[in-house]
Amino acid sequence: MKGELVCLAITTVSIVKNIKRNSITVVRTIVSVMTTRTVLLGHQHLELEIQ
């Protein structure tokens, strides 16, 4: 019984760690996409102003 509980706890901890790591990756991806988009949009606006 105790062994099962320990196993369950370890599994839960590893799952939580994976979720945290994945959420950090997702946030980084979203941030990079947003910055890329704003940079591209900024360039487009600059080009339009120059023309």
3-state secondary structure of 51: coil
Task: Please tell me what DSSP assigns to residue 25.
Answer: H
Instruction: State the pLDDT at residue 6.
Output: 94
Helix, strand, coil content of the chain in percent (nearest 5): 95, 0, 5
pLDDT in tens, 1-47: 789 999 999 999 999 999 999 999 999 999 999 999 888 888 777 67
Q: DSSP string of 6-27?
A: HHHHHHHHHHHHHHHHHHHHHH
Helix/strand/coil for 1: coil
Place of tokens 């949009």: 41
- DSSP, res 21: H
